[in-house]
Amino acid sequence: MADKVGLSYLEKLVSKTVTVFKGGPHSRTGELLAVQSDYLVLKTEDQQVVYYPLTQLKSVIDNTKNSTVSIENLYTRLAAQETIIYPDTFQELVQSLQLGYVQVNGGGPSSSKGYLLDAKSEYIALTTEEKGLVFYRLDQIKSLSTTESDFSEVLPTIAFGGSDLFTDLLRSLLLQWTTVNHGPDKVEGILIEVNDEYSVLVKHKEVIYVPNDSINFVAQKVAVEEEENGENMDNTTQNIIQPTITQSDTQPVNSTPARTSARNSTIRRMLIENIMRNSTIGQ
């Protein structure tokens, strides 16, 4: 796809106003800040910096004629660009953002926000509040951007570890409830088999075969149950083969903010402990 778009063409658009992707959830308009070996950097109209891998790029539209830029603003932009050095490759860029809070893909069902726990050669690992522990195949990411954290507390610094191979990652999730892909291609169930060609999930009486090459997203939901007092949770109640976080019937309907914060903090702690248990896979 990089050959179709043309690096020389993109380089001529640096500092101009462009639209990346003609439409859809990944489309953004803004100033093209830089073009690296396999990704470009866009500063959107709301001042967000978005990184687009060239392998997933469909189109870049020159909107310069429809925009007005003062000379003062142009000099300010050029001065700011001189102080920024971007990593050469998209993989190096992702690694530089490790342990930061990021958004993968700009919108739609394939989008996720979370802390970037690790960046491997074939995939990245994020921890999110909504989807749990999620993984994206690196060469299938449409866009990546840094953003403000949705978490009320900062997660501790940890190393995910594990193998660089995506198939080894899938094997680490065996016998656990797993969600694969987004949108109409989304399937979920207990992952019972992973080989070099396909993976097998079971949901109720369904046996689902998914070619590994078609998997670009994997999510592992952590489910916990609270103790009867509604304030503390025992680690022994952690369950990885259920897709939702459940609460005890004795939990009050209107929890206090302090109690809610404590519960969310415990859920995140248990998620991290699960990550660390899986981090030795492939080592």
Inform me whether the pLDDT recorded for 9 exceeds 60: yes
pLDDT band at 191 (very low <50, low <70, confident <90, very high): very high
Output the pLDDT for position 1: 42
| Per-residue confidence (pLDDT) for residue 87, from 0 to 100 | 93
Task: Please give the pLDDT value at position 215.
Answer: 95
The answer, yes or no, to whether residue 270 has pLDDT greater than 60, is no
In 86-208, alpha helices (H) = 90-96, 166-172
pLDDT of residue 83: 62
* Structure confidence at residue 27 (pLDDT): 87
pLDDT value at residue 209:
97
- pLDDT, one tens digit per residue, over 171-180 is 999 999 999 9
pLDDT band with cut points at 50, 70 and 90 for residue 243? very low
Work out the average pLDDT over 119-139. Answer: 91
Q: What integer best gives the mean pLDDT of the chain?
A: 75
Contact 221, 245 (CB under 8 A): yes
Question: Comparing 67-76, 120-129, 157-166, 183-192, which segment has the lowest mean pLDDT?
Answer: 67-76
Q: Strand 198-203 and strand 132-137: pairing? A: unpaired
In this structure, are residues 215 and 173 in contact, taking their beta carbons and an 8 Å threshold?
A: no
pLDDT in tens, 64-109: 765 544 445 555 555 555 567 899 999 999 999 988 999 999 877 8
Q: What pLDDT was estimated at residue 250?
A: 31
Residue 147: predicted pLDDT: 83
Q: Is the model more confident about 166 or about 107? A: 166
pLDDT of residue 239: 38
Query: Is residue 136 classed as helix, strand or coil in its secondary structure?
Result: strand
Whether residue 190 has pLDDT greater than 90: yes
**What is the rounded distance in angstroms from the CA atom of residue 230 to the CA atom of residue 124?**
35
Of residues 268 and 183, the one with the higher pLDDT is 183
What share of the chain has pLDDT > 70, as a percent? 64
Confidence of residue 155 (pLDDT cuts 50, 70, 90): low
Q: Which two tokens stand for residue 193?
A: 């088999």
For residue 58, what pLDDT band results from cuts at 50, 70 and 90?
confident
Whether the pLDDT of residue 210 is over 90: the answer is yes
Mean pLDDT throughout 267-278? Answer: 53
Alpha-carbon gap, residue 60 to 21, rounded angstroms: 6
CB 161 within 8 A of CB 283: yes
Give the pLDDT band of residue 274 (cuts 50, 70, 90).
Answer: low
